[in-house]
Amino acid sequence: MTIAKPARLRLAELTSGVGAVVLGIGLGVLAASHIGAFGLPLLLIGLVIHAWGMFDKHRLERHVDIAKVWWEPVAYWICWGLLAVLAIGLAGRLSGIV
């Protein structure tokens, strides 16, 4: 039995996550006329769940002795930046500024 290297395993996790996002976007587009009213609540729920999962995974991995890959902290902080931009945009939209 071959054991995947941590860098390769992380790349597979990232690829799977990106695929799930694209799948979710596609489903949302196809079902937009039926679930349009739930868009904002679903977006907020997804934002909170993703942020918690990302934070928790990062916290757990700091306590485990595994090889680090150069792009993981870059992806981690870019994602937090994008979540912050999304949160600011949503706050602006909900307050009527945007």
pLDDT tens digits along 6-61: 777 788 888 888 888 888 888 888 888 888 888 888 888 888 888 888 888 888 88
pTM over 0.85: no
* Other CB atoms within 10 A of residue 90 CB: 15
CA 44 to chain centre: 12
Q: Which residue has 């868009």 as its token pair?
A: 39
Half-sphere exposure for 89 (CA within 13 Å, toward CB):
10
Q: Cα–Cα distance between 50 and 24 in angstroms, integer?
A: 13
Averaged over 72-89, what is the pLDDT? 90
Q: Cα–Cα distance between 16 and 22 in angstroms, integer?
A: 10
Do 67 and 7 contact (CB within 8 A), yes or no?
Answer: yes
